[in-house]
Structure 1
Amino acid sequence: MQSILMQDFEELLHSELDLEPFRGKIFFVTGATGLVGSLVLRFLAYANEQLDLDLKLLALVRNKEKAQRLYAKYKTAPLKFVVTELGHSDLHLSEKVDYVIHAAAVTGSKQMIADPVGTIRTALWGTDEVLQEAVRNNAEAMVYLSSMEVYGQPVVTGQTTEKDLGYVDLTNIRSSYPEGKRMSELMCNSYAEQYGLRVMSARLAQVFGAGVLPGENRVFAQFARSAMNGENIVLHTTGQSEGNYVYATDAIKAILILLQKGETRQAYNVANEDSHMTIKAMAEMVMDNFGISGAQVVIDIPKENMGYAPDVKMWLSSQKLQQLGWRPTVNLKDSYARLIQWLQEKK
């Protein structure tokens, strides 16, 4: 039986995404052992095998052994590891690249508050290194993976568009992440203006689904595992923050469409507008649909600082991206169904 991830990839092959313009191209993807970066590379390897696209894939990793384990099933793929750590000015690609996807970033909330300086340096210096390589290679296009956290606390009452930047508290050390993303977007736009690089920013909602990596412990994975194990879902906040989500392969599709059709110096929200609810409501939805009788949602707020983002009321609009022809296809309930199937396959 075909795995749920391969089913996702097969659906993506038959979606509105046109892969023919990528034939014979070389992709450079940073953050290749992270969730989004690895899914982009795994899909491109699958598409290359199915459609004989003659792609070459360069994957930037810090730990080659970890990368080899992750990509063990893709040994015949045209995949080459670039082993380095961004932010140390030693990135130099040995071959020309056509497309760049910059997915590397600090993503753990505890790390953001334990090492805010490192979080900022990785964002700024790492992005600068990648941009330099994109310019040196005269890349056709680059997509920077930003975040919905750049909006901070939006001031709009309706849907949040790409122009609705809100307030970020610079006294909060956790702001090292959203402010680093904001500045990195500006750096991308500055390279576009000064050097003529075609670069876009993808402001991702929370991405999850089949293909999540071993050890994933973000809230969506915690909810799914609790339901699978017949346990209570435990919230460490009151759960009033509004979540915005997008299924993993819908996010991959968006990134690849942006490489083809995105307008330089522009940001695009990548979110399924229908997958929007408070964290508490999402926990209850997971429990109702995938939990066992008797289990419930429990609120247990720890005394220690867990590094969670501040509560936010925000509903992302994806209309700008949809104008390029992108359509999300997997709703929140089905996202969890596919995620749980993937986790069960990996047991």
Structure 2
Amino acid sequence: MHLEKRILVTGGAGFIGSHLCEALLKTGAEVLCVDNFFTGARANVAHLLDNKHFEMLRHDVTIPLFVEVDQVYNMACPASPVHYQFDPVQTTKTSVHGAINMLGLAKRTKARILQASTSEVYGDPDVHPQQEDYWGNVNPIGPRSCYDEGKRCAETLFFDYYRQHQLDIKVARIFNTYGPRMHPNDGRVVSNFIVQALRGEDITLYGDGQQTRSFCYVDDLVRGLIALMESPEGVTGPINLGNPGEFTIRELAEHVIDLTGSKSQLTNKPLPEDDPKKRRPDITRAKDQLDWEPTIKLRDGLVKTITYFDELLQKL
């Protein structure tokens, strides 16, 4: 008889997924980490392989999976523009076929399932800050659509399984998250700036650098995901998980230069197509329903992230 929860984490060797696996193991759960290593890395979970409650399976979620579990965290999908635009058809398949396969697994095993959705479902928003009842402003045929629309379709599937099959679902809309184990070449602003600063290269600002983002440290985010998964059955979401502290991209660059002591200069390049101008979560729902809010300040989180990248770059 299994007393510990058996938890499946798809994309478990990814940046957020690996931190989630680690946190779940600390709760005494048995964790099955599934990843196809497209953007995830074995190194992210290497330190967990000796844990008798941890299991690693190389598998692509676009192919059905037959395992017995109590909970599913569906985290699998490349999440940075560099990676999701590399093979946009596969990105859409990962979001849509992956959701169908994991929902089917949850239905068969009567497991509770959480979808890692994204603030990108809001597109380039006309509403600020973004609340969960905002339907978004998304270009369905642009270069980012494979990710934005794939995630939107996954949310549709989750709610249809909820209505049609009474499946126990949770949907988290994740805003910009950063921390150790980010991919150094993922093109995301935090990793880009830190790597450029540590190498003494010019820091690239797209546009005038006045576009804003809200940065949530990964430990805060993982706490939010677990709080949502453990919330009462009627709490389906979608729930925004992110840090409501809003910074311009230029401010972020200045923090990184200051904390690394770098001599890097700022340079400007044109803004990519469909790049959102503003991004800040309204987390009222997360506070009310999950008693969750982030506690780690940007500079404190950046210090930990810079330390990680500094050690990583010295090995390369």
- TM-score, normalising length: structure 1: 0.81
Matches within 5 A, 1:199-218: 199-213=169-183, 216-218=186-188
Pick the aligned partner of 1:337 from 292, 296, 303.
303
Q: In 2, are the aligned partners of 1:240 and 1:311 still within 8 Å (CA)?
A: no
Matched, 1:197 2:177: no
Separation in structure 2 between the aligned mates of residue 137 and residue 56 of structure 1, nearest angstrom: 16
Distance 2:237 2:217 in 1: 22
CA distance in 1, matches of 2:24, 2:123: 33
**Residue deviations 1:94-129 (CA, integer Å, cap 9, x gap):** xx2111100001324244444332221211111110
In the aligned structure 1, how far is the partner of 2:267 from the partner of 2:41? 37
Equivalent residue, structure 1, for 2:34: 60
| Secondary structure of 1:71's aligned partner | helix
Could you say which residue in structure 2 is the equivalent of 1:26?
Answer: 6
1:222 counterpart SS class: helix
Letter of the 2:122 partner, please give it.
Answer: Y
Structure 1, residues 202-240: CA drift from partner, whole Å, max 9, x if none?
111111113435655422112112223333312244333
Deviates more, 1:204-213 or 1:130-139: 204-213
Go from structure 1 to structure 2 and tell me whether the alpha carbon gap of 1:23 and 1:248 turns closer, same or farther (over 3 Å shift). farther
> Is residue 99 of structure 1 aligned with residue 71 of structure 2?
yes
**Residue identity opposite 2:65 in structure 1:** L
TM-score (norm 2): 0.88
Gaps of 5+ in 1: 1-21
The one-letter code of the counterpart of 2:307 is Q
Query: How far 1:160 sits from its partner (Å)?
Result: 1.5
Q: 2:250 aligns with which of 280, 292, 304?
A: 280
Distance in 2 separating the partners of 1:277 and 1:213: 22
The Cα offsets for residues 293-341 of structure 1, whole Å up to 9 and x where unpaired, read as x532211349xxxx66523223211111111211211121112111012
State the match for 1:162 in structure 2. 132
1:147 aligns with 2:118: yes
Q: Quote the residue 1:296 is aligned against.
A: 265
Q: Distance in 2 between matches of 1:325 and 1:340?
A: 30
Contact 1:244/1:272, CA 8 A, preserved across alignment: yes
Residue 117 of structure 1 aligns with which residue? 89
- Partner of 1:312 in structure 2? 277
For structure 2, the 5+ residue unaligned runs are none
Is 2:20 the partner of 1:40?
yes
Distance of 1:334 and 1:57 partners within structure 2: 29
Residue in structure 1 matched with residue 237 of structure 2 by the alignment: 266
Equivalence for 1:19:
none
Q: Does 1:72 align with 2:52?
A: no
Identity %: 27
Shift of 1:181: 0.8
Map of 1:182 onto structure 2: 152
* Distance (whole Å) between structure 2 residues aligned to residue 42 and residue 213 of structure 1: 18
Deviates more, 1:169-178 or 1:33-42: 169-178
Amino acid at match of 2:229: L
CA RMSD of aligned residues (A): 2.4
Q: How many residues align?
A: 308
Residue aligning to 1:9: none
Letter in 1 for 2:105: E
The alpha-carbon distance between structure 1 residues 168 and 204, as it changes in their structure 2 partners (threshold 3 A), is same
CA distance in structure 2 between the partners assigned to 1:257 and 1:23 by the alignment: 20
User: In the alignment, does 2:287 pair up with 1:322?
Assistant: yes
CA distance in 1, matches of 2:186, 2:23: 20
Cα separation, partners in 2 of 1:193 and 1:161, compared to 1, 3 Å: same
Aligned mates of 2:14, 2:56 — CA distance in 1:
14
Is residue 270–residue 318 contact of structure 1 (8 Å, CA) maintained in 2? yes
CA distance in 2, matches of 1:149, 1:269: 11
- Is the Cα–Cα contact under 8 Å of residues 250 and 329 in structure 1 kept in the other structure? yes
8 Å CA contact retained: 1:150, 1:178: yes
SS at match of 1:277: strand
